[in-house]
């Protein structure tokens, strides 16, 4: 990697991310023989320091690079090189960090956020496999409190108590890393031995735990060890195939929020959009919501009132109440589940 320097100059400004957050910036300087080489050095530096950073965020940073072309003197061999400055949100360069891991059950996806003071900064969205209707994943406010490396796995199915545990390794249903968040129901985030299922359409397939793409859970392992867990040095875990477990000290714990919401209304760089999801646990019948395990206030269903109110909030006055009613009717009657629809493209 070419020479990389982080300047002491801080800028205070707005930077485009999928959430509106005011951020401080550091200038990261790279000297390179080409712009591609500079971008590659910057990308390697950021992923090394902040392993769960998304490619989209890196692209947002590199797209706003400031380039100075330098002609080498003849006596130095001639040619050109580039001094490239990148404005990087300072929160991505800290040594110690906190995140929020938020999961939406019917969406089959989790959303990662960095917590920086009062700001919550979107990082990335990951596909997940969730519990079946028989073995549900539960809603609630939790904290990650334990990690396990190279875990063994015991089949929780009734009648299989006497079966031997599956040993650690790539064929283990837990994958190679586990993040515990719920001591009561014994649900947790982990990898998988069936990575292809993480990209199937309907992903309510697990015993209640939350399966992740193995590359993503590996990035989370690296991130937690480098940036979150500060009560103990776990760097020896990075390439280890030993079975190990560590319970977090108070300073290491980070929030996990699990919701059950059968639609999403939000904005991205292409505008306001809506997605609908199946009511996979049939919570439209409130008797199916076991309040011993679930936070009922974290269950939000696709009703006319819910859609109208959220469209009104997110459209920011762009649509009259009459048009909002027409939009809600259209969404309820015409749209399929697990597709993203931009409001500007709908004929309602």
Which of these, 128, 124, 82, lies nearest to 103 by C-alpha position? 128
Range of the domain at 270: 262-345
Torsional class of 150: left (φ above 0), alpha (ψ -120 to 50), beta (otherwise): left
What is the average pLDDT across 78-99?
A: 93
Q: At residue 331, what are phi and psi to the nearest 5 degrees?
A: -60, -45
Q: How confident is the model at residue 162 (pLDDT cuts 50, 70, 90)?
A: confident
Beta bridge partners of 210: 189
- The rounded percent of the chain whose pLDDT value lies above 70 is 93
Give the per-residue pLDDT at 21.
53
Last residue within a domain, chosen from 75, 93, 111: 93
Q: How many domains is the chain partitioned into structurally?
A: 3
Low-confidence winner among 20-29, 91-100, 218-227, 260-269 (lowest mean pLDDT): 20-29
Q: How confident is the model at residue 22 (pLDDT cuts 50, 70, 90)?
A: low
Residues 254 and 107 in one domain: yes
Residues 249 and 269 in one domain: no
Residues 303 and 333 in one domain: yes
Residues 235 and 150 in one domain: yes
Residues 137 and 249 in one domain: yes
What is the average pLDDT across 201-223?
A: 97
What is the average pLDDT across 33-56?
A: 97
Q: Domain holding 205: CATH number?
A: 2.40.440.10
What is the average pLDDT across 200-227?
A: 97
Residue 231 or residue 119, greater confidence: 231
Q: Where are the beta strands (DSSP E) in the chain?
A: 4-14, 22-32, 66-71, 80-89, 98-104, 109-116, 119-131, 140-144, 146-149, 177-182, 187-190, 204-206, 210-212, 244-247, 254-261, 263-268, 271-276, 299-300, 340-342
Distance CA 16, CA 25 (A): 13
Give the per-residue pLDDT at 326.
97
Low-confidence winner among 56-65, 82-91, 166-175, 217-226 (lowest mean pLDDT): 166-175
Last residue within a domain, chosen from 202, 234, 258: 258
Residue 264 or residue 24, greater confidence: 264
pLDDT at 45 over 50: yes
Residues 141 and 213 in one domain: yes
Distance CA 236, CA 60 (A): 33
What is the average pLDDT across 314-337?
A: 96
pLDDT at 232 over 80: yes
Last residue within a domain, chosen from 61, 77, 93: 93
Mean pLDDT of the chain: 91
pLDDT at 53 over 70: yes
SS3 180: strand
Residues 285 and 231 in one domain: no
Which tokens in the block code for residue 328?
């809600």
Give the per-residue pLDDT at 9.
32
């Amino acid at each position: 990697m070419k020479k990389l320097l982080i300047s002491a100059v801080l800028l205070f400004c707005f930077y485009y991310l999928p959430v509106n957050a005011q951020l401080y910036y550091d200038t990261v300087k790279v000297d390179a023989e080409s712009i591609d080489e500079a971008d590659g050095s910057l990308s390697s530096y950021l992923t090394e320091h902040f392993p769960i950073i998304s490619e989209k965020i890196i692209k947002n940073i590199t797209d706003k690079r400031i380039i100075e072309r330098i002609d080498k003197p003849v006596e130095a061999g001639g040619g050109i090189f580039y001094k490239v400055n990148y404005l990087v949100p300072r929160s991505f360069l800290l040594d110690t960090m906190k995140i929020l891991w938020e999961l939406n059950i019917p969406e089959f996806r989790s959303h990662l956020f960095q917590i920086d003071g009062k700001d919550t900064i979107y990082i990335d969205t990951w596909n997940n496999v969730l519990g079946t209707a028989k073995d549900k994943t539960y809603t609630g406010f939790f904290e990650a409190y334990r990690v396990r490396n190279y875990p063994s796995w015991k089949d929780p199915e009734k009648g299989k108590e006497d079966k031997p545990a599956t040993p650690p390794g790539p064929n283990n249903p837990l994958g190679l890393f586990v993040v515990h968040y719920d001591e009561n129901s014994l649900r947790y985030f982990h990898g998988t031995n069936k990575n292809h299922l993480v990209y199937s359409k309907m992903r309510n397939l697990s015993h209640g735990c939350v399966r992740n793409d193995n590359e993503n859970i590996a990035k989370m392992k690296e991130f937690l060890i480098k940036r979150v867990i500060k009560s103990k040095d776990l760097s020896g875990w990075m390439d280890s195939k030993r079975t190990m477990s560590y319970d977090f000290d108070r300073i290491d714990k980070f929030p996990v929020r699990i919701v059950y919401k059968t639609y999403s209304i939000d904005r991205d760089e292409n505008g306001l959009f809506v997605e609908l999801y199946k009511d996979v646990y049939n919570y439209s019948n409130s008797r199916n919501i076991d309040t011993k395990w679930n936070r009922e206030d974290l269950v939000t269903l696709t009703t006319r009132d819910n859609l109208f109110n959220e469209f009104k909030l997110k459209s920011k006055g762009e649509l009259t109440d009459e048009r909002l009613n027409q939009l809600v009717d259209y969404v309820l009657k015409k749209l399929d589940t697990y597709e993203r629809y931009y409001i500007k493209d709908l004929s309602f």
